[in-house]
Amino acid sequence: MYQKFDVVIVGSGGAGLMAAMQLPNASVAVLTKVYPTRSHTGAAQGGVAAALGNQEEDHWKWHMYDTVKGGDYLVDQPAAEILTREAIDAVYELEHRGLPFNRTDDGRIDQRRFGGHTRNFGEGPVRRSCYAADRTGHMILQTMYQNAIKNEVRFFNEFLVLDLLINDGQACGVVALEIKTGEIHTFHAKTILFATGGYGRAWRVTSNAFACMGDGMSIAYRRGIPLQDMEMYQFHPTGIYKVGVLLSEAARGEGAKLLNGKGEYFMERYMPVLKDLAPRDIVSRCIVQEIKDGNGIDGKDYVYLDVRHLGAKKIAEKLPDITDFARNYLGVEPITEPVPIQPTAHYAMGGIPTDVDARVVIDSQWTPMPGFYAAGEVACVSVHGANRLGTNSLVDLIVFGRRAGKHMAKFIQETDFVPLPASHEEYSREYIDHLYSSTGGESAAHIRSELQNEMIENVFVERHDKGMRHALDQIAGLQEAYKNVQLQDKGKRFNTELVEAVELGFLLDCAEATIHGALARTESRGAHFRLDYQKRDDANWLKHTLAYRGTKAHDVRLDYKDVILIDDPIFKPKERKY
Amino acid sequence: MLRISSGRGPRPVAGGFETFSWYYFRISGALLLVLVIVHLLIMHISNDVSCTTYAFVAMRYSNVFWRVFDWLLLTVGLTHGMNGLRVVIDDYVRAPGARMWLLSISAVLLVVFFMLGTLTLITFPTVPGATGPLCIPK
Amino acid sequence: MYKGQSGMWSWLLHRITGLGILLFLFIHIVDVSMLGFGPEVYNQSVTLFDYWIVRLLSLALVGAVLYHAFNGIRIMAIDFWRKGSRYQRVMFWIVLAATIIVFIPMAYVIMVPAFHWLTQAPHTTAGR
Amino acid sequence: MNVLIRIKRYDPERDAKPYWDEFRVEADPIDRLLDALNTIKWTMDGTLTFRRSCAHGVCGSDAMRINGRNRLACKVLMRDVGNKVTIEPMLGYAVIKDLVVDMDRFFDKYRSIKPFLITYDNEPGTERLQSPAQRERYDEGTKCILCGACTGSCPSIWGNPDWVGPASIVNAHRFIFDSRDQGAAERLQLLSHKDGVWRCRTIFNCADACPRGIPVTDLIEQVKRAVVYGGPEEA
Ligand SMILES: Cc1cc2nc3c(=O)[nH]c(=O)nc-3n(C[C@H](O)[C@H](O)[C@H](O)COP(=O)(O)OP(=O)(O)OC[C@H]3O[C@@H](n4cnc5c(N)ncnc54)[C@H](O)[C@@H]3O)c2cc1C
Ligand code: HEM
Ligand code: SF4
Ligand code: F3S
Ligand code: FES
C-alpha cells in the first residue's frame, strides 16, 4: 500500500513523540513497531536533568560543564550548550502538558541528585534531576502520547520499518512491514525522522528492551550514511545480577551505596568527592576492578547495592519500582538485604550523526541530507561524547526531539515532495522473501545469542585488541550464517519470528560498527576503556569516529571529524577527576 | 503561597438516565431492605405461609397502612428488579434488534404486573369480619 | 474459566439471586391477584404454598433475599464509604456469614411444619 | 525445574479453531515465565507468537491469562507457577494469533475519555504549582502502563465489548483528580453515559489483575462518586 504524509516519524519513544507534538498543522504519521506506550523510553526511571534551581542554586552552565566533562570531552560543546539551556524550557513544557512531577513543599518541581551532576563546576553533588517517583520515563512517554492523542496524530502501530528511501540525495520515504498482516507499505514523505532508540540487545546482560535492536542506525548505515562514535557504549553499573534489569542511579541519588564482598563501601576509596555518584563509566570500571581483585561477593562476578540505611519509608516513597524489581527478580528484600548487581549494557552514545537541528549529516564536512532527521538515542548530536550522564538522555530526547519537530515544520513549508526512487519496495521485498524462502537451516535465536555472548566477553567494560579482533572474526562468521537463517513460521499474520530475524540483521550491523570504531581508537576515553591503551590521548583522538559500511564485516571504512570546542577555558579538555 | 489552577471549568450537568438508574438501585435497595424484611417476618416467621388465607389478608387490609406498605413493596421491588433485568439484558444481548425486543417486552411486563398488583390491592373489598378459615385446616 | 476473585462470585450470586427474586415476584403478584376471584379461589391457591417442594422453594427464596439484601449493603458500602473497596473481601465473608446465620433459624421456622407432616401419617389434602 | 507449559494456540490463517499445545521446559525457579516462552520460541517452536518488549513489567506488552488469571508473563516467576502452567490469550479481546490479541479497541476507548491535561488558563512562565498532597491525590492512576489486563479480566466487558472498561476509567481518574486539570466536568459527563462507569459492578477482578498494584476498583468508585456528587471530592 502507498500513503503520503508531510512528515513520517519512525519511533514513538520520547524523541519521536516530542517531535510530533511540534507539528500540529502538518500531516504526520508516526510508525512504530510496538504500541507507542510500549516504547523503551517508558523504562527510564531516574529523571530528567534541568538546571531549574528549585532545590538549590543551579545554572545551565554548570550543567553544561558536567555534560562536557562527563562525556570525557568528546562532546560537541555548542550542542551541549543548547542541550542544557533548552532543557529548562523543555521541562516546563512537559509540565504544562501534564507531566506529574514530584513536588517540593512549595509546589515546584522536585529535584534530586544524580551521578556526575555537580554545583559550581565540580564542587559537589547538586539536585538537578526532575523526577516523577522512579518512573520519569514512563510519565514522559505517557504524557507525550496523551498529547499526541489530543493533537490527533496518526499512528501506525506495529509497523516495522525496513528501509529508508532516498532519491537524488534527498530522503523521501520509508518502507515498512505491517506486522499484523505481513503486508509491505510505502510511506512517501517530505521529511523523515528516525527516533528508533538504541541497540542494547547486542549484549547478553542488558537493561534494554527486546525491541532495542538498532533498527534505525542499521537502516541508515545500509543506505551509506555513517554511524558516529559507536565504540562509545555505556555500561550501567547497577543492573540486577544476571537479568540486567536496571536499578536506577536514582537509588544512589537518594543515598544508596555499593558494597563489596569484604563489606566495604568501596566507591569512597576510588572517588573521594562524588563517591557513589561518580559518572557511570567510572563506577562500572570500579566494580569490574573490585571483582578482578577478588572483592566480588563470595569471589563471584557481582557486588551489592545497599539501600538498607535509607529506611523502609524512604524506600517505599522514592524507590518503589526498584524495590519491586529486586523482590520480583531476585527474591531479595532491599529493606533488609543488599541487592546483587553487575554492570549492564545500557546506552548508545553513538549513532546517526546529526547537527543541532537534528538534521542527519552524512560526512566529516557536516553535509546534511535534506529531509532526513534523527533524534534520541539513535542519533549522535554528540552531547554525550564518550559517556552520558544519568538523566541526560531524557533531556536529549525532549530538547532535540523538539528541535527536530520545529525544523521539520519549517522544512515542509519550504520544500516539495521528491518523487520516490524506481522500484522502491524491491529491497525490502527481496529481504523478506529471502527470509521466508531460505532453507539454510540457521536459527536466528542462536546467532543472536552467540553475538550477545561474544559482545559481553570482548566488547564490554574493558577491551583490548586481541579480544576485539576475535569478536570481529566471530561477527563476520555470524553475518555469513545470517544469510542462511531459516524460519519455521511461514505465515504472514503477526509473524514475530520474521520480525526477530529482520531485527537480528540490524543488530549485527550495529555490533560491527561498534567493534571497528573501538579497535581503531587506541586510547581510553569515557566508556571506551582499553587495557592496552589506558590513557586518554587528546593529541590523536579528540575526534569523532565515522564508520561507513562495507560489503563485509571486515571492510568497514572509518573516517573522523573534529570535536567542536568553544572558546572558554572552563571547557578546555583536562583530566577527569571526581 | 500556593498558586493553584483557578477552577475546574463547568460543573457536570447532573444526571443522565444511567446515573439515575444506579442511584435508584441503591435508594430502592435501602427501602426494600426494610420492606422485605418486615414482609418476610410477617409472612414466614410470625405466621406460617399456610395461614395467609383470604381471611388473614382481609384482616390485614382493613388497615390502610398495610395496603400502602404492600403497594410500596410491589412498586419498589418491581421497579428495582425490572431495572436489574434491563441491566442484565443490556449486558448480554448484543444484537440491537433482539435487545430492543427484550427491553420492550420487559417494559410491558413491568406495566402489566404493576397494574395487576395495584388493581388487586385497590379492588380488594374492606370486609369487616373474616370470611373463611384463618389457616388452611390440617 | 477465568479464575476471578471473591468479588466475581459475589457479583454472580447477586445477579442470579436478584433475577430469581424477580421471577418469584412475578409469580407472587399473580397468585395474590387471585384475591380478586374471592375467598374460595384464593384459599385454594394458598394451599399451594403448603407443598413441601414449594416450601423448599420458598426456603431458597428466603436465602436468596437474605444474600441479595446483605450483599446489597456491601455494594452500597463499597460505593459510598471511602474505605469500602479496601474491606470488600472481608465484607463478602461477613455477608456470607450473616446470610447463613439469619437463614438457619428462618429455615427452621419455615420447614418445621413440613417436617412435622413428613414424620406423621398423611392426613391432609396438601402435604407431600 | 522441569515445567509443563500448556498454551492455547490459534492461527486463523491455518487453524479452524483454537487448540492446546504442550511444551516441557527446563527452567530456573527465578526465571520469568516470559523466559520460558522465549525458550520455546527460540529452541522448540518458532511459530509460537506473543508480544513482549521490556521484560520487566513496565511496558505492558505481555498481558495474558496465566493459570486462569491475567498477568504479565515477565512478572510471573517460574517458582510461583509450579510444575504445570496454563497460558491463554486474554478474554475480551479478539485473538490475532496465539497469545496476541487485538488492542486497537482498547486504545480507542482510552482515547475516548480525553486522557490529556485540559486547561483553560494561560500557561505560567515556569511550572504550574501543585502541592505534594495534590500530587499524591492522583498518583495511583499515573502508574498505569495500559497493559489491558484489568479490562480483559472484567466480566462486564466479556458481555459488553462496548464498555469503556477499567483502564480508561483509571486514566480518567488520573486527570479528574489532578488539581491542574480543568476538564473534569467533560470527562464525568462522558463517563456518566451508558457504557461509562456504571457498567462497573464492583467485581474487583481488575484490581487483582493489575500488575502495577493500582487499586483499580477504588479509583473507579471515586469517579462514580464524582459523577453523583457533581465533582471530585478532596483527598
Ligand atoms: C532501564 C533504563 C532506564 C533509563 N533511565 C534513564 C533515566 O533515568 N534518565 C535518562 O535520561 N535516560 C534514561 N535511560 C535512557 C533513555 O530511556 C533512552 O535512551 C531513551 O528513552 C531512548 O528514547 P528514544 O525516543 O530515542 O527511543 P525508544 O524510547 O527506545 O523508542 C524507540 C521507538 O522506535 C520504534 N522503532 C524502533 N525500531 C523500529 C522500526 N524498525 N520500525 C518502526 N518503529 C521502530 C519503537 O517502536 C519505539 O517506539 C534509561 C534507559 C533504560 C534502558
Ligand atoms: C432486600 C433488599 C435489597 C437490596 C438491599 C438490594 C440491593 C441491590 C443493589 C445495590 C443492586 C445493584 C447492584 C449493582 O449495581 O451492582 C441490586 C441489583 C439488583 N437487584 Fe436488588 N436489592 C434488594 C432487593 C431486591 C429484590 C426484592 C429484587 C427482585 C425483585 C431485586 C432484584 C435485583 C436485580 C435483578 C438486580 C440486578 C442485578 C445485576 O445487575 O447484577 N433486588 N440490588
Ligand atoms: S490499570 Fe493496571 S491492569 Fe489496567 S491497564 Fe493499567 S496497568 Fe494494566
Ligand atoms: S472487574 Fe469490572 S466490574 Fe468493575 S471492579 Fe473491576 S471493572
Ligand atoms: S514485556 Fe514489558 S511488561 Fe512484560
CATH number assigned to the domain comprising residue C63 = 1.20.1300.10
pLDDT given at position C38: 81
Nearest C-alpha to atom 6 of ligand 2 is from which residue?
B29
Nearest neighbour of B18 by CB, restricted to D120, D131, D198: D198
Query: Does A436 contact D at CB distance below 8 Å?
Result: no
DSSP assignment letter at A43 = G
Counting ligand 5 atoms within 8 A of each CB, the residue from D32, D35, D61, D150 with the most, and so the one to mutate, is: D61
Q: Which residues contact A548 (CB under 8 A, 6 or more apart)?
A: A224, A226, A556, A557, A558, A559
Question: Is A98–D111 a contact, with Cβ atoms under 8 angstroms apart?
Answer: no
Q: Assess whether pLDDT exceeds 70 at residue D25.
A: yes
Question: Is B120–C32 a contact, with Cβ atoms under 8 angstroms apart?
Answer: yes
Ligand 4 midpoint to CA B87 (Å): 15
DSSP letters, C25-78, are HHHHHHHHHGGGG-HHHHHHHHHGGGSHHHHHHHHHHHHHHHHHHHHHHHHHHH
Is C96 domain-assigned? yes
CA distance D23 to D32: 16
CA distance A180 to A160: 10
- DSSP-derived 3-state class of residue C79: helix
Query: Does D44 contact A at CB distance below 8 Å?
Result: no
* C92, three cell numbers: 463478602
Is C26 domain-assigned? yes
Is C76 domain-assigned? yes
D90 lines ligand 3 (CB under 6 A): no
Is C2 domain-assigned? no
- DSSP-derived 3-state class of residue D135: helix
* D64, three cell numbers: 495474558
Contacts of B81 in chain C (CB under 8 A): 18, 21-22, 25
Rounded to 10 deg, the angle between the A77-96 and A392-414 helix axes is 90
Contacts of B92 in chain D (CB under 8 A): 159-160
Q: Which of D198, D221, D229 is best to mutate for the B interface (most B CBs within 10 A)? A: D198
Is C128 domain-assigned? no
Q: Which residues contact A433 (CB under 8 A, 6 or more apart)?
A: none
Range scoring the smallest mean pLDDT among A442-451, B53-62, C81-90, D176-185: B53-62
Contacts of A321 in chain D (CB under 8 A): 58
Comparing C-alpha atoms, which of D77, D86, D68 is closest to residue D4?
D86
Please give the positions of A annotated as active site: 280
Q: How far from each other are the two terminal CA atoms of chain B, in whole angstroms?
A: 83
Q: Is C125 exposed, middle or buried (0-12, 13-18, 19+ CB in 10 A)?
A: exposed
pLDDT given at position B51: 73
Number of domains observed in the structure of chain C: 1
Residue B56 phi, psi (nearest 5): -60, -45
Contacts of D218 in chain C (CB under 8 A): 85-86
Q: Which residues contact A184 (CB under 8 A, 6 or more apart)?
A: A162, A175, A176, A177, A178, A425, A428, A429, A432
Buried b (16+ CB within 10 A) or exposed e, D126-159: bbbbbbeebbebbebbbbbbbbbbbbbbbbbbeb
Q: For residue D107, give the amino acid letter.
A: F
Q: What is the pLDDT along chain A (578 residues), one digit of tens a residue?
A: 899 999 999 999 999 999 999 998 899 999 999 999 999 999 998 899 999 999 999 999 999 999 999 999 999 999 999 999 999 999 999 999 999 999 999 999 999 998 889 999 989 999 999 999 889 999 999 999 999 999 999 999 999 999 999 999 999 999 999 999 999 999 999 999 999 999 999 999 999 999 999 999 999 999 999 999 999 999 999 999 988 899 888 889 889 999 999 999 999 999 888 889 888 999 999 999 999 999 999 988 999 999 999 999 988 888 887 788 888 888 889 999 999 999 999 999 999 999 999 999 999 999 999 999 999 999 999 999 999 999 999 999 999 999 999 999 999 999 999 999 999 999 999 999 999 999 999 999 999 999 999 999 999 999 999 999 999 999 999 999 999 999 999 999 999 999 999 999 999 999 999 999 999 999 999 999 999 999 999 999 999 999 999 998 899 999 999 999 999 999 999 988 87
pLDDT band for C120, please (50, 70, 90 cuts).
low
Buried b (16+ CB within 10 A) or exposed e, A368-378: bbbbbbbbbbb
Buried b (16+ CB within 10 A) or exposed e, A14-34: bbbbbbbbbbeebbbbbbbbb
Question: Is B26–C79 a contact, with Cβ atoms under 8 angstroms apart?
Answer: yes
Give this prediction's pTM: 0.93
Place of cell 385446616: B137
Is C21 domain-assigned? yes
Nearest neighbour of C5 by CB, restricted to D204, D221, D224: D204
pLDDT given at position B127: 65
CA distance B5 to B20: 31
Contact yes or no for A330/A240 (Cβ under 8 A): yes
Quote the domain boundaries for residue C67: 7-115
* C-alpha dist (Å) from residue D125 to A63, A93, C10: 21, 10, 52
CA angle B12, B14, B16 (to 5 degrees): 110
Nearest neighbour of B136 by CB, restricted to C15, C50, C80: C50
pLDDT given at position C54: 81
Average pLDDT, chain C: 86
- Say what the alpha-carbon torsion angle A491, A497, A502, A503 is, to the nearest 10 degrees: 150
Contact yes or no for A171/A370 (Cβ under 8 A): yes
pLDDT given at position B133: 66
C-alpha distance from D48 to closest chain A C-alpha (Å): 8
Place of cell 579528540: A542
Half-sphere exposure of C17 (CA within 13 A, CB side): 22
Q: Assess whether pLDDT exceeds 70 at residue C128.
A: no
Ligand 4 midpoint to CA B21 (Å): 18
* C-alpha dist (Å) from residue D140 to A530, B35, D210, D216: 46, 41, 12, 9
Nearest neighbour of B6 by CB, restricted to D121, D183, D232: D121
Comparing C-alpha atoms, which of A399, A420, A74 is closest to residue A233?
A74
* D94, three cell numbers: 479478539
Atom of ligand 2 nearest to the CA of C65: 1
Chains C and B touch (3+ CB pairs under 8 A): yes
All residue ranges of chain B with pLDDT < 50 are: 1-9, 12, 138
DSSP assignment letter at A36 = G
Contact yes or no for D168/D191 (Cβ under 8 A): no
Nearest C-alpha to atom 8 of ligand 3 is from which residue?
D147
* Ligand found nearest the CA of A45: 1
Q: For residue A109, give the amino acid letter.
A: I
Q: A189 - beta bridge partners? A: A5
Q: Which residues contact C89 (CB under 8 A, 6 or more apart)?
A: C5, C6, C7, D204
pLDDT given at position A433: 97
Question: Is D54–A42 a contact, with Cβ atoms under 8 angstroms apart?
Answer: yes
Tens of pLDDT along D48-69? Answer: 999 999 999 999 999 999 999 9
Interface A-D: count of C-beta contacts within 8 A:
159
Half-sphere exposure of A461 (CA within 13 A, CB side): 22
pLDDT given at position B48: 72
Contacts of B119 in chain C (CB under 8 A): 33, 36
Place of cell 571483582: A291
- DSSP 3-state helix, strand, coil percentages of chain B (rounded to 5)? 70, 0, 30
Contacts of D113 in chain B (CB under 8 A): none
Residue A361 phi, psi (nearest 5): -110, 135
Chains C and D touch (3+ CB pairs under 8 A): yes
Nearest neighbour of D49 by CB, restricted to A101, A492, A494: A494
Question: Is B85–C73 a contact, with Cβ atoms under 8 angstroms apart?
Answer: no
Counting ligand 3 atoms within 8 A of each CB, the residue from D147, D151, D218, D220 with the most, and so the one to mutate, is: D147
Given CA atoms A539, A541, A542, A548 in this order, what sign does their dihedral have?
positive
Q: Is A82 left (phi over 0), alpha (psi -120 to 50) or beta?
A: alpha
Nearest C-alpha to atom 2 of ligand 3 is from which residue?
D210
Rounded to 10 deg, the angle between the A14-21 and A136-150 helix axes is 30
* C-alpha dist (Å) from residue C42 to B48, B51, B115: 16, 12, 19
Half-sphere exposure of A285 (CA within 13 A, CB side): 20
Q: Which of C22, C42, C71, C123 is best to mutate for the B interface (most B CBs within 10 A)? A: C22
Subunits that touch chain A (at least 3 Cβ pairs < 8 angstroms)? B, D
CA distance C100 to A97: 54
Alpha helices in D57-162 (DSSP H): 78-81, 104-112, 132-137, 139-142, 149-153, 155-159
Is C120 domain-assigned? no
Chains B and D touch (3+ CB pairs under 8 A): yes
Is C17 domain-assigned? yes
Tell me the mean pLDDT in the region D156-180: 96
* B7, three cell numbers: 477552577
